[in-house]
Amino acid sequence: MKGLRRILPFGVLLLPVPGFADDSGDVGEVVVTGRRLPPAASELVLATSVIDRETLAQSGNQRLDDALRDVPGFSLFRRQSSRASHPTTQGVTLRGLGPSGAGRTLVLLDGVPQNDPFGGWIDWSRLPTTTLESVSLTRGGGAGPWGNAALAGTLRLRSHAPAGNGVEGKASVDSFGAVDGTISGFGALGKANLMATVAGHSGKGPYLIREGQRGPADVRTRDKGGLIQGGVGVPFDDATQVSLTGAYSSDVFINGIEIAKSRSRIADGTANIVHDNGRDAVGWEAHVYVRDENLPAVFSSVNATRTTVTPSLNQFRVPATAVGGNAIVRVPVSDALAFDIGADGRRTTGETNELFQYVAPAFTRVRAAGGAQFIGGGYLEANWTPTAAITVTAAGRVDTWEQTDGHRRETAITGGALLRDDRYAKRSGTVGNYRLGGRVAATETVELRATVYSGFRVPTLNELYRPFRVGNDITEANPLLRPERMRGIEAGIDWKPTERVAASLTLFTARLTDAVGNITVRTTPGLDPVLNVVVPAGGTLRQRQNIDRIHSEGVEADVTVAATSALDLTVRYLYTAPRITKASNQPSLVGLDLAQVAKHQGFVSASWRPWSGGVLRAEGHFAGSQFEDDINSRRLAGTATLDLYAEQALSPSATLFLSADNLFDRTVEAGRSADGLVTVGTPRVVAAGVKFRL
């Protein structure tokens, strides 16, 4: 937190948030980071769910990833909140398309990628719900403005853009004693508009090990950190705005064992320019960004009785950087036809520096592993709306990727003997992708849509070069991993018989080739001669490998009903069944289910506004059983939980709220180790707080 305190006085000059109005009257509303070109017509064709600001505001003490679980199929690597899981497990995927630490979904904040440059995961603590206007979840990949990492879909976060001058925020405390708060200030200075946000969280969380299996070594998780972010937006003319944003965050997390500590430090900045002069004129926007971070972490090993802890890995320095940009030009040819032409590129570098092979009382070896990566592409998208009832979209995209400076060097600490010095050859490639879709209003109440698409994801530097260990389970890296490819088809129907009722149904099928998975290599103790790794008793050795082919198919359903002017009902359901259909390296995997995916997932909610300023909300989440591992030997039980939320406005500027997550304190199985140890998700948590705007 020292670095955070050091830059706190300069917060007004930094950070990514949104905009406000210029009180001078010379221009209309000005947005610091949230302003973008209007959505393309193609978005009407895609399977997209939108969570608005009102719904985000009713998430109680939840982080953004918890709130997004209202959409079945959204998942991190395991059934755990980012409040109680290691940062490297927080990659996101949609439709159950192979959850992993890296994730298979692109996350954008006002057009800028938020995926970690080294590992692809998301630091959810940097994305407070109070600073967001909406989240759009587009399921399914495809060419167009989204390239690498948008394999399973795209999450587009739009910053909140308050008008005028003022302060708003949120503060809460929960039943674990954890405190959480966010405060934002915004206003105009001449034609410039400024905004700054400061957020912080501190306190204990749940145990990670199932009750009855815990020992003296187990402690509650602890999380302490903060964020400072801000921006300045200046109108160049009535159609053009330039903005600068920046952020710094620091977070310390104790991962259920006292010595298992990680510390994430991230600084980033963005320059944006947007020109929008109406739908009949050429519009364009461009973003340039830089991100610098470090994620040192200590991992531990615990004996069978959970009485003794030894360090298994000390990643004392893990620097990573990303520099990139993207631009789009929208050209309206006629009232019915428009073209989007765009390009983007991102260069990332990263390296893990770590102590490993612990022999009491000290580590005996040191390792440095990492590399550099560039991914860039261009696309052309055509959107044709010959009538109000018909929309047709077609897009093509070409990307190039390059991996350089791949290395893994291991040295003995005593004596300095060089034990390993691998230098990996430069690798590169070119990938083409497409999307073709259409939407037709069949009747006044029924619309039909269909899309065929392809997508890709280049393995992250973390997957290519960094081995890791969790307890006695070891996973080796693989510098020869190939990019993942996906082809998918989906068709849907949207029905809106009245203003109060809306329903949608989507059928989809997808084929994922060269999927990166953690593949079991050895389950017996001893030295593995191929990977030169010693497997401890009760442990498992895995390696990241490409799985030849995974086939997934399923159905999504969504129904919303405004039962009365004060009562809203929502039901969502997902069935998905991804299976391995070809695995030349591990033929025994063929026919098995993909790990960490429940076939049946659902959500139901009721929101009631019984009186002025009052809201009562109940949400139920359920998921069927799923397998923990690739060989389907460890099954995790299904789960069903109930969350409650209530708020009451005390005045136009202050609202009190109370929330209870997992009200009946159900055990949520999140992981199961080779020796039967079960890690669990968040138990019952009650929180109370206040939201305000002055």
Residue type, 300: S
Number of neighbours of residue 474 by Cβ within 10 angstroms:
24
Domain CATH code at residue 205: 2.40.170.20
Residue type, 468: F
At residue 470's C-alpha, the angle toward residues 466 and 476, to 5°, is 35
**Residue from 372, 271, 383 nearest 327 by CA:** 271
Burial status of residue 190 (CB atoms within 10 A of its CB: 0-12, 13-18, 19 or more): exposed
CA distance 171 to 691: 7
Instruction: Give pLDDT tens digits for 590-611.
Output: 999 988 899 999 999 999 999 9
Two structure tokens written together for 680: 């669990």
pLDDT at 35: 55
CA distance 559 to 496: 10
pLDDT at 34: 44
Instruction: List CB contacts of 358: < 8 A, sequence separation 6 or more.
Output: 301, 310, 311, 312, 364
pLDDT at 38: 85
Question: Looking at residue 170, what DSSP letter applies?
Answer: E
pLDDT at 43: 84
Do residues 294 and 321 touch, judged by C-beta distance below 8 A?
A: no
Number of neighbours of residue 634 by Cβ within 10 angstroms:
17
Do residues 82 and 68 touch, judged by C-beta distance below 8 A?
A: no
Number of neighbours of residue 189 by Cβ within 10 angstroms:
13
pLDDT at 161: 78
Residue numbers of the chain with a pLDDT score lower than 70: 1-35, 471
CA distance 647 to 169: 15
Hey, is 579 helix, strand or coil? strand
Do residues 57 and 658 touch, judged by C-beta distance below 8 A?
A: no
Look up the domain containing 366 and give its range: 2-693
Number of neighbours of residue 359 by Cβ within 10 angstroms:
9
pTM of structure: 0.90
Hey, is 44 helix, strand or coil? helix
Which residue spans within 45-143 are E strands per DSSP?
47-52, 105-109, 112-113, 132-139
CA distance 596 to 600: 12
* Pairing of the two strands 105-109 and 153-159: parallel
CA distance 439 to 42: 9
pLDDT at 574: 96
Instruction: Give pLDDT tens digits for 474-483.
Output: 889 999 999 9
CA distance 226 to 167: 18
CA distance 587 to 180: 49
pLDDT at 47: 84
Number of neighbours of residue 378 by Cβ within 10 angstroms:
16
Do residues 643 and 657 touch, judged by C-beta distance below 8 A?
A: no
Number of neighbours of residue 28 by Cβ within 10 angstroms:
10
Which H or E run includes 332? strand 319-332
pLDDT at 470: 72
Counting the structural domains of the chain, the total is: 1
Which residue is it, tokens 């905004």?
Answer: 195
Which H or E run includes 415? none
Question: Looking at residue 78, what DSSP letter applies?
Answer: S
Do residues 88 and 103 touch, judged by C-beta distance below 8 A?
A: no
Two structure tokens written together for 261: 């500590």
Do residues 536 and 312 touch, judged by C-beta distance below 8 A?
A: no
